[in-house]
């Protein structure tokens, strides 16, 4: 039998996160055999809605509600044993047993309770320059990973795991003492360090009953057998550690390159890259945001789009769609297909603006500006009339208002990339597929 080796398709966010990646991993999961998260950790909050229920996932891949699919947590992902076990408990309460559907990389690094305290300490030491981290320990845990002193899933099976844990914890406590951070009074998820540590270690015991394997071999073998794989990104390309608005970024490669290192597959294995973006922009946390609206329109986007963080509940900053940012992230990721979400949030606007160009000293910027340059650019906007109609009930692309189609065509023309999916609401079913 000569089965053709399959490619790995990718879904990732091409703005500042929260674009609606979770919904589309769930929507497309029936077409795949394996759904694999490749980076990030519990800083992510991926929302899925179907049959009148809403589910938010942080570490577990968004294909978990589909039977007979493998949901894989790759080596590039960070795992907090307490948070993932909470997710597991919630899924069990909903009748889904994740143990039968999940595989975890033995090389995925652990977030220790003290990583979370270090995150808080580093944020508070930055004062007004703070990143606005989700304070889930992401920066400190990735720092230990590249510093070659992190703990991996593989370690939880070692007889001296507890000692390894204590050694790393004590290193962290030393740093916290140096920073004069009041560890004794710091609460993690409303628990003291000792209480959180106890729950975290119970989580470690629970994780031992999961399939923890060299997922890079599993995935490469699956590709040989022609199995279909979908890689799920977290955060967004403008939060990428290399290409985002540094230092206001997360600590991983959120772009398509991260799929190779985060799953152990070769660049030639990548297939379609679905870039998810909102019909406008949002950002949580600090950092430049060129099209940000601090007026009634921004408030309307936040209210109608219900723009509050899925992980932290923080209000998201809102602004108009930013095409120069999309040109950059489409290029970085080699996006083959665009997925636009939340056009329905623009239903009531008389006029809709799209930033089409960045200028500096009156001249078009031929590249995406650095964080400092972003403070000084001028923006050129294209203004379009709103469609002023409820679009959430549309079942086909053809039913959409002409003015929305013009909006979509403008984006396709400017980005030279087809829009393959249009999302009209949070539910799985609120989705239409234009014929490209």
Q: Is 138 in the site for ligand IMO (CB under 6 A)?
A: yes
C-alpha to C-alpha distance for 386 and 403, rounded to whole angstroms: 7
CA dihedral sign of residues 320, 59, 246, 262: negative
Under the criterion CB under 6 A, does residue 317 sit at the interface with ligand GDP?
A: no
> Considering 9, 26, 46, 55, which one is annotated as catalytic?
46
Shortest Cβ 314–ligand IMO spacing (Å): 7
Of the listed 18, 240, 322, 427, which one is catalytic? 18
Distance, in Å, from the CA atom of 61 to the CA atom of 57, rounded to the nearest integer, reads: 7
Is 58 tagged catalytic?
no
* Two tokens, residue 103: 């595989």
Q: β-strand 102-105 against 211-213: which pairing, if any?
A: parallel
If one counts every other C-beta atom within 10 angstroms of the C-beta of residue 213, the result is 16
Strand partners, 419: 338
One symbol per residue from 394 to 423: x for binding ligand GDP (CB under 6 A), - otherwise; what is it? -----------------------------x
* Interface residue with Mg ion, options 9, 18, 80, 427 (CB under 5 A): 18
Residue 188 CB, nearest distance to ligand IMO (Å)?
A: 14
| Coil vs helix vs strand at 158 | coil
Confirm or reject binding of residue 310 to Mg ion (CB under 5 A): yes
Sequence-ordered strand ranges (E) for 260-413: 270-278, 281-283, 317-319, 321-322, 337-341, 351-360, 363-364, 378-385
Subset of 168-207 contacting Mg ion (CB under 5 A): none
Q: Which one among 284, 323, 421, 424 touches ligand IMO, defined by CB under 6 A?
A: 284
Sheet holding 211-213, edge to edge: 211-213, 102-105, 70-73, 34-37, 229-236, 8-13, 270-278, 337-341, 419-423, 431-432
Q: Which of residues 188-247 bind ligand IMO (CB under 6 A)?
A: 234-236, 239
Write out the binding residues for ligand GDP, residues 23-42 only, by CB under 6 A: 23
| The one segment of 12-20, 72-80, 266-274, 324-332 that binds ligand GDP by CB under 6 A | 12-20
Q: Write out the residues near ligand GDP by the rule CB under 6 A.
A: 13, 17-23, 44-47, 49, 310, 341-342, 344-345, 423-426
Active site residues: 18, 46
Q: Write out the residues near ligand IMO by the rule CB under 6 A.
A: 13, 17-18, 40, 43-46, 131-134, 136, 138-139, 234-236, 239, 250, 284-285, 310
């Amino acid at each position: 039998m000569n089965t053709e080796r399959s490619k790995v398709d990718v879904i990732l966010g091409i703005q500042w996160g929260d674009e609606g990646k979770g919904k589309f991993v769930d929507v497309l999961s029936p077409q795949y055999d394996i759904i694999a998260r490749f980076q990030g950790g519990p800083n992510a909050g991926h929302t899925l809605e179907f049959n009148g229920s809403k589910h938010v996932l942080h570490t577990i891949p968004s294909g978990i509600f589909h039977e007979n699919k493998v949901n894989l947590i790759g080596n590039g992902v960070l795992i907090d044993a307490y948070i993932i076990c909470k997710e597991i408990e919630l899924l069990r309460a909903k009748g889904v047993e994740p143990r039968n559907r999940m595989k975890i990389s033995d090389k995925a690094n652990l977030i220790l309770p003290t990583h979370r305290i270090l995150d808080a300490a580093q944020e508070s030491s930055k004062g007004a320059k703070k990143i606005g981290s989700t304070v889930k320990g992401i920066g400190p845990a990735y720092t230990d990973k590249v510093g070659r002193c992190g703990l991996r899933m593989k370690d939880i099976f070692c007889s001296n795991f507890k000692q390894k844990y204590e050694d790393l914890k004590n290193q962290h406590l030393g740093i916290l003492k140096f920073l004069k951070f009041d560890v004794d009074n710091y609460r993690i998820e409303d628990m003291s360090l000792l209480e959180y540590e106890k729950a975290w270690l119970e989580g470690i015991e629970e994780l031992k009953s999961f399939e923890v394997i060299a997922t890079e071999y599993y995935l490469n073998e699956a590709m040989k057998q022609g199995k279909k794989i979908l890689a799920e990104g977290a955060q967004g390309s403008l939060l990428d550690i290399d290409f985002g608005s540094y230092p206001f970024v997360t600590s991983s490669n959120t772009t398509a390159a991260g799929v190779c290192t985060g799953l152990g597959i070769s660049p030639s294995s990548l297939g379609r890259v679905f870039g998810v973006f909102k019909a406008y922009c949002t950002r949580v946390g600090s950092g430049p945001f060129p099209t940000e609206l601090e007026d009634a329109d921004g408030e309307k986007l936040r209210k109608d789009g219900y723009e509050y963080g899925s992980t932290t509940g923080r209000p998201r900053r809102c602004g108009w769609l930013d095409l120069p940012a999309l040109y950059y992230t489409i290029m970085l990721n080699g996006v083959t297909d665009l997925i636009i979400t939340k056009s329905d949030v623009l239903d009531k606007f008389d006029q809709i603006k799209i930033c089409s160009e960045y200028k500096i000293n009156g001249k078009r910027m031929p590249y995406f500006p650095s964080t400092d340059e972003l403070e000084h650019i001028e923006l050129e906007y294209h203004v379009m009339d709103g469609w002023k109609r409820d679009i959430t009930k549309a079942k086909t692309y053809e039913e959409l208002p002409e003015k929305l189609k013009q909006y979509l065509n403008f984006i396709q023309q400017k980005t030279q990339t087809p829009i393959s999916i249009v999302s009209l609401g949070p539910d799985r079913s609120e989705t239409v597929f234009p014929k490209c």
